[in-house]
Amino acid sequence: MLKDTLTGPAKGGIYENLVFDMLIKRGFSLNYFKNDKNTQEIEFLFAKDGSVIPVEVKSKNGATLSLNNFIKDYSPPFAYKLVSGNLGVSDTKITLPLYMAMFL
């Protein structure tokens, strides 16, 4: 994982489980989101200061259609995209390397 050499369909699931473990150990009460059409999902939602904060986990640094639509539809104060990549900020979306989940 440290060298980002995992491949295949299980890679995303492994990353999601590792992020889940980090967030649970930090005391988060996590939820999952899937839209009514079952076409979009957000891996984790948690409450902070009366708002719902979405967390999208990506095994690559690619597009996040589900997260973008969630932001558009529900206007959270901020949203996290955890990727195998670098830091970034775009409007309310904060992109962080996967390992930084332990600091949320």
Q: What is the pLDDT of residues 67-102, one digit of tens each?
A: 999 999 999 999 999 998 889 999 999 999 999 999
pTM, two decimal places: 0.86
What is the C-alpha to C-alpha distance for residues 99 and 92, in angstroms, rounded to an integer?
20
**Is 41 in a helix, a strand, or coil?**
strand
Average pLDDT over residues 54-62: 86
Structural domains in the chain?
Answer: 10-103 (3.40.1350)
Query: 4: pLDDT confidence band, cut at 50, 70 and 90?
Result: low
Tell me the C-alpha distance between 55 and 42, whole Å.
7
Average pLDDT over residues 39-54: 93
pLDDT at res. 2: 64
Mean pLDDT of 51-60: 91
Q: In the structure encoding, which two tokens stand for residue 96, read together?
A: 């962080």
Residues 6+ apart with CB under 8 A from 9: none
65: DSSP letter = H
Q: Rounded CA gap, 49 and 37, in Å?
A: 29
